[in-house]
Structure 1
Amino acid sequence: MTRVLTLYKNAFGGLSRAAWILALVMLINRSGSMVVPFLSVYLTASLGFDLEQAGILLSLFGVGSITGAFVGGWLTDKIGHFWVQFFSLVGGGSLFFFVANLADFLPLCVGIFTISAVSEMLRPANSSSVAHYAKPENVTRAFSLNRMAINLGYSFGPAVGGILATFSYNLLFIVDGITCISAGILFFFYFKNKKGHEQKEDETKATSSPLNALKDWRFVLFVLLVLSFATVFFQLFMTLPLYYKDVYQLPESQIGLLIGLNGFIVFLLEMIIVYSVGERFSIRRLVMIGSLLNGLAFIILNLLHSEPILYLAVLIISVAEIMAMPFMATYTVQRSGPKNRGIYMGMYSFAYSAAFVLAPALGTNIVRAFDFTTLWWVCGVLSIGTSVGFFLLLAPQKKKA
């Protein structure tokens, strides 16, 4: 027991106060994350849309995320990560109250796109902040602390959301909006005059031109592989809730607990796993293993059929997330420089945003045309291919003589 406590103490030691406050901001923000996990169920069960319409609306959420990722990354380099984060938190939170009152298809298309775009601007700006305020030697752990807070929030959000949904889905939008605005207020008052850790600029990474970032072909390929990884991973939020509902007939409260379990596992284990393996193994190996586990989580749903297997699948996908995502973010920081970090983080965020388009489109269309079994096999094959891609792309580069 003492050894475990020492491990936790070492994992959290040395992080700056700013890193902790950033994590607190994200904890407050994500504790209200109730709309996205239940969006597919809300659109079909509450508003009465069919799978095709729900797929379009979920894909528009992804298109909005793509827009927000690029705009957020560009604005971060232009006006700074502080104002982009503040606008995204307060502006996005306010939009939840508006979208809660929409019920028709076309207005919902506009509303979901807009709220997604504004909310997603937070991701590249926040990632730039984490790198800005962290000590250089603690960047990966600072990202893990931030993700730990996000996942702790996600463990609360869906679980509470599942209970609130039994009363009214509108409550999900209201609570989500309140927590976003509250996080924005805390962020503003703590960081408005805060200075970060200055880092030496690499002249080869000095330009903030989006075109220059797109010319970094290795990073572009890396982003495409992250997109593939995230497309599989996001089935957890996009189609697994439908699978729980349609195949296992689980109530909303249990669906919320299953999704929330992912956040709780990541909260509990990520920091100590990152601390334990981060210095011992290469980013290449860790990301490759995470990609393989990502696919395994869905393959076992076809091999074994019982409710306990649903929990095992969430455990595996949570470990996959821990092994891959923090180190993907670190690779992005290493690939960029202070003056173009927003654009690189925007491109990295694009992968997750685009996955919000591909994941529901891929998932709902395969289920509609075939069944869930086919979808889980596709996820497994795609994950194996992604793992091979990371293995080849992240191989050590030979230095020119």
Structure 2
Amino acid sequence: MFRSIIDTYRRSFSGLSRETWLLATVILINRCGYMAVPFMSLYVTQHLHRSPSDAGLIIMLFGIGSIAGAAVGGALTDRIGHRPVQINSLIAGGILFLLFAYVTHFATLCVLSLVISFFIESFRPANFAATHSYAKPGTNTRSYALNRLAMNIGWAVGSSLGGFLALVDYQLIFLVDGGISILAGLAVMGLLPRARGAMRKLKEKAKGVVTRRPWQDALFLRFMALTTLFATCFFLLFRIGPVFFKEEWHLNEGTIGLLLAFNGVFIALFEMVLIARLEQRRPPLQYVIAGALFLAASYLFLALPVALALFGALMSMLLFTIGEMFALPFINTFVISRTSEHNRGQYAAGYTLCWSCAQVIGPAGGFFLAERWGYNLLWILVFALLLLAAWGFYFLYQRARHEVPLRTASA
């Protein structure tokens, strides 16, 4: 039995390119410092002693900057390549986080949130395109899953460390995050190979080739709308959840950090094996539907009474994490299946925009509802919205089954 489990893990990680492993290493470094964003709402409410609605405003502005960053990052990726976009976004974002630690003026913090998120989010479409660029043929889903493994190991380290740093001094969260982001940018510069002349060759190859743009792809536009709904609900556990755990369920920052870390540890242990077993067995959207249903169930546990706080938090995080493992890798697979080498950055930007818009809609709307009608109503509404998202992905899947492909992405 144990040999079978070990063999499954070995097969899950075999056949990936050296560059894919190097990219995952960079992501791991970056994510080990990714602690400022999940603790930002607590920083505003607990350290700066401002209202939850002010925290919602900061996070909403963070989302607005993300929208611009995703659009610009995707365009630049297709124009100058993924490597320079990743380097510049990581280093600039890190420097701004160092500055954020020393600013207490609220209006200035709002501006910084906008600018920081611009650079952070411009990294994502470039990183998305880089993953496909470095993947060997037939290993796309596992390459993205390896990146998610690196992200979630880093998330586990960063979240737990962030929780304990918050107990000491909230400023340390932003200093450590900024320093590690700069280190990750330098790692991209030193570890990932230059694609000498690659962009020039790609532009020559693209001459006379008609490629589909995301806004010309009706099915992808429907997918973007559903993904925005899904992502809006997804973000609430990590943006509003920490404030709920602290103020309503009276959990301390260390416990909250460990709860967030549980998400990353569970994914690190099981996602690659799950993907290796599920990949190419069913269409990606079927797994996305299952993921949305698991996420829906997870929010019901947040409506439990405070006497069951720790049980409710653990069960919610467990179901949420299972749903995440089903949904996110196969959402990536669906996106990449609709691209070619000439439009990958634009599709990556369109996909990233869904998550950026969700960062605007989710926290601001969620804090508004929670302040006026209570958290229980919010969690029930999120449950209903995720059921709606699952229903929408099902009909999208039915349409995709009967679609004649315009262009097949290179493997």
Aligned to 1:361: 364
Q: Does the CA contact (< 8 Å) of 2:229 and 2:385 recur in 1?
A: yes
Query: In the alignment, which residue of structure 1 is the partner of 2:284?
Result: 283
- Give the distance between the partners of 1:181 and 1:156, measured in 2 at CA: 18
Of 318, 321, 326, which residue of structure 2 is paired with 1:323?
326
Assess, with a 3 A threshold, how the Cα gap between structure 1 residues 342 and 373 changes in structure 2: closer, same or farther.
Answer: same
Measured after TM superposition, the shift of residue 332 of structure 1 is 0.8
Distance 1:202 1:9 in 2: 39
In the TM superposition, what is the alpha-carbon distance from 1:192 to its structure 2 partner? Answer: 4.2
Contact 2:304 2:312 in 1 (8 A): no
Post-superposition shift, 1:109?
Answer: 0.9
Once residues 300 and 115 of structure 1 are traced to their aligned partners in structure 2, the CA distance between those partners, rounded to angstroms, is 33
SS at match of 2:401: coil
- 2-structure distance, mates of 1:61, 1:143: 25
Q: Does 1:227 align with 2:231?
A: no
Report the CA distance between 1:133 and its aligned residue: 0.6
Distance 1:278 1:104, change over 3 A: same
* Aligned twin of 1:338: 341
Q: Distance in 2 between matches of 1:214 and 1:386?
A: 21
Deviations 1:274-328 (A, max 9, x none): 1111122221210000011111100122257341221111011111111011111
Q: Which residue in the other structure is 2:402 paired with?
A: 398
Cα distance in structure 1, aligned partners of 2:178 and 2:403? 50
Does the alignment pair 1:168 with 2:169? Answer: yes
Matched residues, percent identical? Answer: 36
Aligned partner of 2:379 in structure 1 is 376
In the alignment of these two chains, the number of paired residues is 395
* Residue 206 of structure 1: how far off its partner (Å): 4.7
TM-score, normalised by the number of residues in structure 1? 0.95
Distance 2:358 2:139 in 1: 28
**1:194 positional shift:** 4.6
Return the match for 2:354 from 342, 351, 355.
351
Judge conservation of contact 1:205–1:340 (CA < 8 Å) in 2.
no
Following the alignment from structure 1 to structure 2, what is the Cα–Cα distance between the partners of residues 63 and 361? Answer: 11
Q: Give the Cα separation in 2 of the matches to 1:84 and 1:26.
A: 14
2: CA distance, partners of 1:238 / 1:152: 19
Q: 2: CA distance between counterparts of 1:16 and 1:170?
A: 39
CA contact (8 A) 1:229 1:294 kept: no
Q: Deviations over 1:59-111 (max 9, x none)?
A: 00011111111110011011111110000111111111111111112101110
SS, match of residue 265 in structure 1: helix
The answer (yes or no) to whether the contact 1:288–1:324 under 8 Å persists in 2 is yes
Query: SS state of the match for residue 121, structure 1?
Result: helix
Please identify, of 304-313 and 219-228, the stretch whose mean Cα deviation from structure 2 is larger.
304-313
In the TM superposition, residue 191 of structure 1 has moved relative to its aligned partner by: 2.1
Structure 1 residues 245-284: Cα deviation after superposition (integer angstroms, max 9, x where no partner): 1121111111111111111111111101111111222212
1:243 aligns with 2:247: no
Indicate conservation of the 8 Å contact 1:363/1:375, yes or no.
Answer: yes
What letter is aligned with 1:347? Answer: G
Structure-2 residue corresponding to 1:9? 10
List gaps (5 residues or longer) in structure 2. Answer: 405-411
Structure 1: segments with no counterpart, 5+ residues: none
Q: CA deviation at 1:53?
A: 1.4
Matches of 1:303 and 1:256, distance apart in 2: 20
Of residues 26-35 and 301-310 in structure 1, the stretch that sits farther from structure 2 once superposed is: 301-310
Where 1:36 maps in the other structure, the secondary structure is coil
TM-score, length basis structure 2: 0.92
Which amino acid counterpart does residue 230 of structure 1 have in structure 2? A
How big is the alpha-carbon RMSD for the aligned residues of Structure 1 and Structure 2?
A: 1.9
* Distance (Å, rounded) in 1 between the aligned partners of 2:47 and 2:86: 32
Partner of 2:189, secondary structure, is helix
Pair 307,114 (structure 1): closer, same or farther in 2 beyond 3 Å: same
Partner residue in 2 for 1:85: 86
Alignment of 1:66-215 (within 5 A): 66-194=67-195, 206-207=210-211, 212-215=213-216
Distance 1:236 1:319 in 2: 14
